[in-house]
Amino acid sequence: MSDDYSDSGTGRSWLERVGQFFTSTPGSREELLALMRSMRDSDVIDGDTLGIIEGAICVSDMQVREILIPRSQMVSIRASDDPRDFLPTIIDCAHSRFPVLGDDPDEIIGILLAKDLLALILEPAKMDRFSIKDHVRSAMVVPESKRLDSLLREFRITKNHMAIVVNEYGGVAGLVTIEDVLEQIVGEIEDEHDIEDDDYLIKDLEGDDYTVKALTPIDEFNEHFKTGFSDEEFDTIGGLVMQAFGHLPQREEAVEMGGFRFTVLSADGRTIRLLRVTPLDGAATTGAE
């Protein structure tokens, strides 16, 4: 056999090295993952490949509610809005698709594509004759409980890139995109519009709660909340919270640390993505705006 296919240290071919891991068929998902990790440790596959395999396996266990963009963070358009009012928002956020809702925020009209508005920018005189309902496209609507592997399959079949998510009462819970699903498999996908916005790392909610991105640097968290968490071992608040859990937490799991309750709002198969932070009695919050 050609040396190109041989292990120079042992004389074994690459196929033989792979084959040694399959002397028996894995009996469970956990055994399969353990097998893949042992292949990574033996340099049969690399870490990136392992990450994609783990992500693909985890997606089959996840539901839309775990990754959706919540209604409060949706950039949507009201069907009754004037183009002069919503065009600046569309240009500023640079998304390509926008949910169109009725006067009742739970009334789903459809999806508006940004490219359908180019004529208004080139010919402002058309704004007076513009009707959203002439351009809106039908919306794909899915329940919060829909599994991500099923959603991805439906995205492929229907050629949709966005779906409106509804709760058990039929109200709009948020939205999900095909990119959100793929990121659970391959990791974060950044494009030219993904800009690090420090103001968005920490957001005030009603009451004493805050949403905090897991990627928030610990020193910025300390500055905002007037806390003193150490950044010697971890750089981000997500890493610190993960250590406090001692395992990869699921959505809605909570842990108390340093006078705060950290509740997981979003997590994928490998990391925490978004947290709700609630100061406990006596916690310092004078740094929060």
| Nearest Cα residue to 138 out of 109, 96, 178 | 109
Tell me the CA distances in angstroms from 25 to 13, 22, 31, one per residue in order: 21, 6, 9
| Nearest Cα residue to 53 out of 33, 29, 67 | 33
Is residue 2 a part of any domain in this protein? no
**Taking the CB of residue 63, how many other CB atoms lie within 10 A of it?**
16
Cα(10)–Cα(42) distance, integer angstroms: 13
For 240, the domain range is 198-279
Is residue 147 a part of any domain in this protein? yes
73 and 161 housed in the same domain? yes
150 and 172 housed in the same domain? yes
| Domain C-terminal end among 11, 37, 59 | 59
179 and 217 housed in the same domain? no
Tokens of 183: 């990121």
Q: What is the pLDDT along the chain (289 residues), one digit of tens a residue?
A: 444 444 444 445 545 555 555 555 666 777 777 887 888 887 777 777 777 777 787 788 889 988 888 887 788 888 888 888 888 877 766 678 899 999 898 999 999 988 888 777 777 777 777 788 888 999 999 999 999 999 999 999 999 999 999 998 889 999 999 988 888 887 665 544 444 444 568 888 767 889 898 889 999 999 999 999 998 888 889 889 988 998 878 778 899 999 999 998 877 555 788 899 999 975 555 444 4
Ranges of beta strands (E only) in 137-271 are 140-143, 162-166, 172-177, 202-204, 210-213, 254-257, 260-267
Is residue 10 a part of any domain in this protein? no
Q: Which residues pair with residue 40 across a beta bridge?
A: none
| Domain C-terminal end among 42, 59, 76 | 59
Q: Are 213 and 200 in contact (CB under 8 A)?
A: yes
Is residue 288 a part of any domain in this protein? no
165 and 113 housed in the same domain? yes
Residue 139 DSSP symbol:
P
Tokens of 209: 């709660």
Is residue 216 a part of any domain in this protein? yes
271 and 213 housed in the same domain? yes
* Residue 64 pLDDT: 92
* Residue 139 pLDDT: 93
135 and 227 housed in the same domain? no
Is residue 22 a part of any domain in this protein? no
State pTM to two decimals: 0.56
Q: CATH number, domain at 79? A: 3.10.580.10
| Domain C-terminal end among 186, 209, 225 | 186
- The total number of structural domains in the chain stands at 3
* Residue 201 pLDDT: 82
130 and 153 housed in the same domain? yes
* Residue 1 pLDDT: 44
* Residue 286 pLDDT: 45
Q: CATH number, domain at 216? A: 3.30.465.10
Q: Which long-range contacts (CB under 8 A, 24 or more apart) does 221-228 make?
A: 223/287, 224/287, 224/288, 225/260, 225/277, 225/279, 225/283, 225/284, 225/285, 225/287, 225/288, 226/284, 226/285, 226/286, 226/287, 227/258, 227/259, 227/260, 227/284, 228/258
Is residue 86 a part of any domain in this protein? yes
Is residue 5 a part of any domain in this protein? no
Count CA atoms within 13 Å of residue 272 on its CB side: 32
Cα(212)–Cα(158) distance, integer angstroms: 34
* Residue 150 pLDDT: 93
* Residue 22 pLDDT: 55
172 and 258 housed in the same domain? no
**Taking the CB of residue 159, how many other CB atoms lie within 10 A of it?**
8
